[in-house]
């Protein structure tokens, strides 16, 4: 957990809950619970939840067998009431009993399992359920300096993996073989967990979310490498670079890669506090469209990142949200020629007082990797 005043996060969440006219938040294991308490609870069929009332003391409800783990986490230093329930107890009735008698609206976290949502609804039948994300997104979108430092360290760690790509990515090796080496390097670079490894060579590069396959990389193949992991403090990395394996790539690829690079550079130069999320998307999309590749830019420009790889704010058409200092997100335009090849350039950036800071520093120029590794 990033060194921070977790009690302050709980207090701010409680004030936001009250200001939203919500009687209580109920948060189960996931990034929201970790954000509020530092506790990375196991997502089990047994109910673990934080009950955060608009007024009054929060309570962490846990299965009895999970109480030692909860107290060993940062929860133990929070002076937070931890209420354990036994195997034959009804945890939903117990949680309902903690709610104020006047409760009419309860906010449940956005990723709560459906079976738990329905069980809580049955336990508090007179209360309307809404999403806690309407409250928590406003807190989690605006990173503190400690959180930005954590994300900066995550960026350094994933950059170290991209810096070594020439060791593994070469003709004659399969995507899966290259991916295994990359995954090992992600851990070696300081991550606690590998979240994803995309090695998309040749025609597989035209699929933005290709994973790994047994396709053997051929000389001259463009290869999209999108990788990320979670650091020990819970904060995530994510960066994409496009490489060429061992020989000159097709001219059509070189032509649109230069367009993509121009678009990404323009978006990074434009993005800053005070502009809208959708306008950052538009700056790059207009350049790509003017060059004739508009239909080949298949996805939004970016997503927020923090304790989750994808979180608010989303850099996409229709999102009028005004960017603010401390917001962290990706800028990752892509061009994908179906059945042929594709390219993407992705940096994580943070809004500062005078623009953005890129948290990824490896070169965005097209890199032709030596066939000899």
Q: What are phi and psi of 20, to 5 degrees?
A: -85, 0
Determine the pLDDT at residue 373. 47
**CA proximity to 138, closest of 321, 368, 5:** 321
* pLDDT per position as a tens digit, 48-88: 999 999 999 999 999 999 999 999 999 999 989 999 999 99
Domain at 6-139, CATH class: alpha beta
Determine the pLDDT at residue 256. 97
| Average pLDDT value for residue range 296-301 | 98
Q: Is residue 5 pLDDT above 90, yes or no?
A: no
Q: Helix (H, G, I), strand (E, B), or coil: what is residue 88? A: coil
List, in sequence order, every beta strand (DSSP E) within 96-238. 105-108, 128-131, 193-201, 221-230
Cα 192 from Cα 184, distance rounded (Å): 11
* pLDDT per position as a tens digit, 208-222: 999 999 999 999 999
Give 71's contacts (C-beta < 8 A, 6+ positions apart). Answer: 82
Determine the pLDDT at residue 3. 42
Determine the pLDDT at residue 79. 87
Domain boundaries, the chain: 6-139, 145-369
Buried b (16+ CB within 10 A) or exposed e, 78-101: bebebebbeeeeebbebbbebbee
Q: Are 54 and 78 in contact (CB under 8 A)?
A: no
Q: Are 151 and 130 in contact (CB under 8 A)?
A: no
Pairing mode, if any, of strands 347-352 and 49-53?
A: unpaired
Determine the pLDDT at residue 371. 64
Of 5-14, 142-151, 230-239, 278-287, minimum mean pLDDT range: 5-14
Unique residue bearing structure tokens 């738990």: 116
Sign (positive/negative) of CA torsion 205, 206, 209, 214?
negative
pLDDT band at 28 (very low <50, low <70, confident <90, very high): very high
**CA proximity to 351, closest of 369, 330, 370, 325:** 325
Cα 143 from Cα 127, distance rounded (Å): 32
Determine the pLDDT at residue 316. 98
> Under CATH, which number does the domain 145-369 receive?
3.90.230.10
Q: What angle do helix axes 145-162 and 175-188 make, rounded to 10 degrees?
A: 140
Q: Are 335 and 224 in contact (CB under 8 A)?
A: no
Determine the pLDDT at residue 141. 96
């Amino acid at each position: 957990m990033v060194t921070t005043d977790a009690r302050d996060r709980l207090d701010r969440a409680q004030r936001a809950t009250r200001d939203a006219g919500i009687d209580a938040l109920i948060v189960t294991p996931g990034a929201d619970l970790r954000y509020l308490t530092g506790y990375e609870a196991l997502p089990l069929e047994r109910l673990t939840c934080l009950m955060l009332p608009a007024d009054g003391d929060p309570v962490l409800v846990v299965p009895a067998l999970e109480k030692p783990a909860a107290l060993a986490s940062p929860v133990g230093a929070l002076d937070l009431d931890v209420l354990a329930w036994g195997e034959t107890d009804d945890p939903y009735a117990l949680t309902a009993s903690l709610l104020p008698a006047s409760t009419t609206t309860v906010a449940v976290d956005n990723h709560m399992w459906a079976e738990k949502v329905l069980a809580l609804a049955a336990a508090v039948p007179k209360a309307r359920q809404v999403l806690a994300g309407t409250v928590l997104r406003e807190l989690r979108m605006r990173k503190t300096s400690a959180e930005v430092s954590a994300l900066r360290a995550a960026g350094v760690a994933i950059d170290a993996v991209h810096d070594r790509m020439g060791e593994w990515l070469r003709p004659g090796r399969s995507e899966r073989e290259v991916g295994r080496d990359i995954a090992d390097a992600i851990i070696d670079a300081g991550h606690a967990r590998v979240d994803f490894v995309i090695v998309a060579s040749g025609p597989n590069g035209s699929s933005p979310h290709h994973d790994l396959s047994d396709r053997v990389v051929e000389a001259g193949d463009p290869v999209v490498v999108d990788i990320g992991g979670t650091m020990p403090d819970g904060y995530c990395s994510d960066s994409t670079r496009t490489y060429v394996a061992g020989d000159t790539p097709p001219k059509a690829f070189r032509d649109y890669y230069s367009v993509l690079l121009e678009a990404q550079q323009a978006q990074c130069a434009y993005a800053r506090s005070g502009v809208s999320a959708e306008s950052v998307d538009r700056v790059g999309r207009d350049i790509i469209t003017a060059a004739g590749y508009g239909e080949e830019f298949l996805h939004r420009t970016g997503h927020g990142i923090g304790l989750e790889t994808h979180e608010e704010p989303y850099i996409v058409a229709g999102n009028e949200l005004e960017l603010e200092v401390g917001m962290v997100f990706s800028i990752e335009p892509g061009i994908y020629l179906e059945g042929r090849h594709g390219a993407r350039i992705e940096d994580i950036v943070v809004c500062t007082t005078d623009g953005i800071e890129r948290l990824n520093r490896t070169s965005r120029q097209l890199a032709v990797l030596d066939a000899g590794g």
